[in-house]
Amino acid sequence: MQVEAVFSRDQALEESWKCQLSPYYFATRYCKTLDIETNETRLCPEYPYLKEFFEENKEPYNEHIEKSRQMFISWAFMILFLHDITFKNNVADFITSRKEFLVDDGGSLSTANSLMGRIRFIWERLPDFLRMPLDISFLRIKNPMTGSFIIGESSNPNAGRSGTWYRALMDEAALIPKSESVFSSLQQACKKGLYMNSTPYGRGNVFARIRFSKNGTFRKRSFHWKRHPERDLEWYNLQKANMTEDQTARELDISYEKSVHGQIYHMFDSKTQVGNYPYKADLPLYRGWDFGIGAPVAILWIQERPVPKQIFPEIRIIAELEEARHMPPYYAKKVREMPFKLRTEKGKLIPKDAKDYGDPAGKQTEINLKSWVSWLAEEKIYMNVKHGQRKLDTILAGQRIMPYVRVDESCVRFQECISSYKHPTDDQGNIIKDDYEENEFTHLMKAFEYYAVNRFPLKKSTWEAE
């Protein structure tokens, strides 16, 4: 059992000064936390990666943190925020997460299951000379002596917009709905000191976008379980024994590509299937279309390279387009402008012919009495469609050829969509239907599948969804 030291007034002042100068000293000497594996109260551990975190965040900084589960990072952030309102005058910090109860589950009666509850847990166990008289209410903690405070809020497109923040935390950032809107709101209110903390969940969110962006102001930090001094391969194997593949990818391996519940193209591996695949004039050219009636129109440009003794050719996705709110002539013009040309015998460059595949729904007549297929035909783009296909048929056709697909590194949106294109799932991540979840990631994937089901139609009734 830990015994609290008794300090003289001068010693207390010296210790308080040391804590003010170093959040790490404050954390490891006086901040007691709850160990979720043993349910024991203990001081913040003196792990090297935590020292790095505290020492490099004495002052606010825009930071992206990807992590494995149970790395103590959420506790570390709450210690940092408590340090702010204890030792700094007139600063305002902000916390948001995907659900309100994860931010605060009770105000003055909160528990360590919520972020602000963790602040209360730590504060209540500080020695008297460090424990400021905080005013704690639901989604608000204020230090009347310093004038500093912390505000919490569930994630929404206006999160944090009402204030100007010294630090702001997007916890579980990859799982926040409409994360781009939340990020945009917070970025305006917190120019320096915006933290994104999460395990990954696909590439179709702002957390992944910032992670893979080559520009921007965010310092990027990775806390993999191997950096934890008390974790080893035996711990890893024990954790993953009761996890699904996507849970292991998300919670332990920091994998963006394989971390989504019910992922349809879980077999896609960006490390081996994404690279430099430029247009080749000597290879045939195809286009897959999703007409996006009432949604964005998606087009993929695809080439096939024959491979000896291989059942399917190497299928190269070389370009992409996804745009909304335009009529068919606009997209026809875009297609003609793409730099995919052939050189004639006289040296003249002419557009290369392509075969087009699309959604059978494109033959339906709209208000103007024209269908997408007929309208595009007027622009000399002749669509091939296959009727009578179930949603599952198009998925199976895509899954069957996916191991042979190669994606040019410029097709960033396709890479985002393929990792987030998923079957409908319940709250526990169990697949409840064998078709696809309709969302912003489906359009480019359907363009790919209309190409797949037309070029390589299923011939065996024994095929099943993976």
| Rounded mean pLDDT, 79-95 | 97
User: 10 Å Cβ neighbour count for 184?
Assistant: 14
What distance in Å separates the CA atoms of residue 137 and residue 25, rounded to the nearest whole number?
28
368 falls in which pLDDT band (50, 70, 90)? Answer: low
Instruction: Say if residue 362 is exposed, middle or buried (CB neighbours under 10 Å; 0-12, 13-18, 19+).
Output: buried
What distance in Å separates the CA atoms of residue 91 and residue 418, rounded to the nearest whole number?
42
366 falls in which pLDDT band (50, 70, 90)? Answer: low
460 falls in which pLDDT band (50, 70, 90)? Answer: low
What distance in Å separates the CA atoms of residue 102 and residue 358, rounded to the nearest whole number?
44
For residue range 277-313, what is the model confidence (pLDDT) as tens digits? 999 999 999 999 999 777 899 999 999 999 998 999 9
- Please report the sign of the dihedral spanned by the C-alpha atoms of residue 360, residue 466, residue 205, residue 314: negative
For residue range 303-355, what is the model confidence (pLDDT) as tens digits? 999 999 899 999 999 999 999 888 899 999 999 999 998 887 777 888 889 99
The percent of residues above 90 in pLDDT, for the chain, comes to 66
Query: What does pLDDT average to over the chain?
Result: 90
**Pairing between β-strand 219-223 and β-strand 63-67 as defined by DSSP bridges:** parallel
For residue range 165-182, what is the model confidence (pLDDT) as tens digits? 999 999 999 988 888 888
User: 10 Å Cβ neighbour count for 60?
Assistant: 20
| Rounded mean pLDDT, 443-447 | 96
**458 strand-pairing partners:** none
439 falls in which pLDDT band (50, 70, 90)? Answer: confident
pLDDT of amino acid 463: 42
Q: 3.40.50.620, 3.90.1150.10, 3.40.50.300, 3.30.70.20: which CATH number matches 9-227? A: 3.40.50.300
Using the predicted structure, report yes or no on whether residue 430 has a pLDDT greater than 80.
no
* CATH of the domain spanning 270-455: 3.30.420.280
pLDDT of amino acid 369: 55
Using the predicted structure, report yes or no on whether residue 370 has a pLDDT greater than 80.
no
Per-domain residue ranges of the chain: 9-227, 270-455
Distance (Å) of CA 268 to CA 160, 320, 397, 420: 37, 18, 14, 12
DSSP characters for 353-386?
P-EEEE-GGGGS--TTS--HHHHHHHTT-PEEE-
Residue 342 token pair: 């052939």
462 falls in which pLDDT band (50, 70, 90)? Answer: very low
pLDDT of amino acid 297: 94
CB 202 within 8 A of CB 208: yes
Residue 389 token pair: 């296909």
What three-state secondary structure class fits 273? helix
What distance in Å separates the CA atoms of residue 364 and residue 380, rounded to the nearest whole number?
19
For residue range 120-146, what is the model confidence (pLDDT) as tens digits? 999 999 999 999 999 999 999 999 999
Fold match, 9-227 / 270-455: no
